[in-house]
Amino acid sequence: MIARARAAMMQAMIRPLIAALASLAVPAAAQDTPPPPASVVVAFDRESITPLIAEGMRNFDSREPVEFNDPVRIASISKLIMALAALRLMDEGKLDLDRDVSDYLGWKLRSPHHPDAPVTLAHLLSHRAGLSDAGGYFIPLGASLEAKLADPAAWRDTGPPGAAAFEYANLGSPLVATALEAASGERYDRLVERLVFAPLGVKACFNWVGCGPDLEARAVTLYRHTGEVAADAPDRLPPACTIPVAEGVECSLENYVPGTNASIFSPQGGVRIGMMDLAKIGQALFDNRGAEHFLSANAQTLFLQSMVSAINENPPFGSEAGFCGYALASYVLVDAPPCLDDLFMDGVERFGHGGEAYGLRSGLWIALGQGTSFAYFTTAVPPPSGEVETAASDPRETELMQRALALAGERDD
């Protein structure tokens, strides 16, 4: 793995020079052809992180080649990071995942279909609260989170919270993030920096708030499969406004009160981070060995046992929607019963979270036993077909993972 890492790093060093020389040699007409979309894959285990694939351009206009740790909007892997922040806050004794979330929010949160049933953070993190994205899930600065949840379109009736049928709902994330703010007294982006990013030596941010010029200069622009810009083009980065803001409201966090509306940080999908740094987060979840434990033994057990319990349901919880064993913002990926998602097609059980938004597909998949763990993204991917969306739904993503397995020495091709 060390030899492959050195080779990949050397490749990363010479890639900008090659790109510059190529731009001089290629006729002008050929330079008008859109560059290939960006894709990055890194492998990791407990001890090391190995860069495997970095190809394509982080921006079509500048034609700058993507590098292994260039920051990208990782979409729903952000939910897993949110769950880790919640577990860390639990370890500090400031949070109870099974407590009525209304106690943190300061107002009563109830499903109109089950007005006597409390909603907990565990319900929200596992998509078992009865929420729906049918009425939307963006609550801009200046708007009311409480009013959004009072809309009947935010709920559906498939059972009381905790027993409700699985429905993947981004709307739960603003509630969780706002509750974390209320429990800690800290703004959500700063809380995650303190609890997750800083302890792991990670450079990351939410909606570019606090990332700084160095990361902004390496931002990966997201494109749809048509070539249209979807997110994070240079003109959409600071000093442009990067948070959702209600009409007539100033784009400023100066007067924001933690515990009111953390939706402005897009906790459901707004983390910007490079794949080398994302792999560091994956490494922290292997176990609790070492002098410094990222999670307590109690938190680690709760995190993993929640997935085991979800898998043991009949059918495995979330599997009918393509999320086998979903619990606390994580699920299981394996091509073996009872979970059948063949992204890697190697029979290795991995857990983590995938992402799909703005033409991007991403994943953080951790192998606790035998097998290699991966952090990756690829861009300009066609939108979901509307059928059950699994990690293996996109052929290009599947092909990328097969190449990564070969480079990691787990495929003979």
Residue 142 lies in a domain: no
The answer to whether residue 326 is domain-embedded is yes
CA distances from 44 to 76, 194, 348, 352, 364 (A): 20, 24, 15, 14, 10
Residues 31-47 pLDDT 10s: 566 678 899 999 999 99
Within 42-142, residue ranges assigned H as helices are 77-91, 102-105, 121-125
Asked if residue 25 has pLDDT above 50, the reply is no
**Mean pLDDT estimate for the chain:** 89
**With 70 as the cut, is the pLDDT of residue 181 above it?**
yes
* Per-residue model confidence (pLDDT) at position 387: 54
Q: How many domains does the chain have?
A: 1
Distances (CA, A) of 331 to 116, 385, 390: 29, 21, 12
Question: Above 60 in pLDDT, residue 15?
Answer: no
Q: How far is CA 273 from CA 28, 32, 74, 162, 270, in A?
A: 34, 30, 7, 32, 10
pLDDT above 70: percentage of residues in the chain = 88
**Domain-located, residue 312:** yes
**Which residues, in sequence order, are bridge partners of residue 209?**
206
- Rounded distance, CA 7 to CA 375, Å? 19
Residue 8 lies in a domain: yes
Residue 234 lies in a domain: yes
Q: What is the CATH number of the domain that holds 383?
A: 3.40.710
What is the arithmetic mean of pLDDT over 174-191? 98
pLDDT of residue 336: 79
pLDDT of residue 342: 80
Which residue has 């709902």 as its token pair?
Answer: 169
Q: Range with the lowest mean pLDDT among 215-219, 253-257, 299-303, 322-326?
A: 322-326
pLDDT, tens only, 241-291: 999 999 999 999 999 999 999 999 999 999 999 999 999 999 999 866 444
pLDDT tens, position by position, 154-163: 999 999 999 9
The DSSP annotation for 390-408 comes to -TT--HHHHHHHHHHHHHT
84 is a domain residue = no
204 forms beta bridges with 273
**Average pLDDT, stretch 388-401?**
76
Containing structural domain, residue 225: 2-78+193-407
Of 93, 20, 112, the C-alpha closest to 296 is 93
Considering the domain boundaries, does residue 24 fall inside one?
Answer: yes
Do 330 and 364 form a contact (C-beta atoms < 8 A)?
A: no
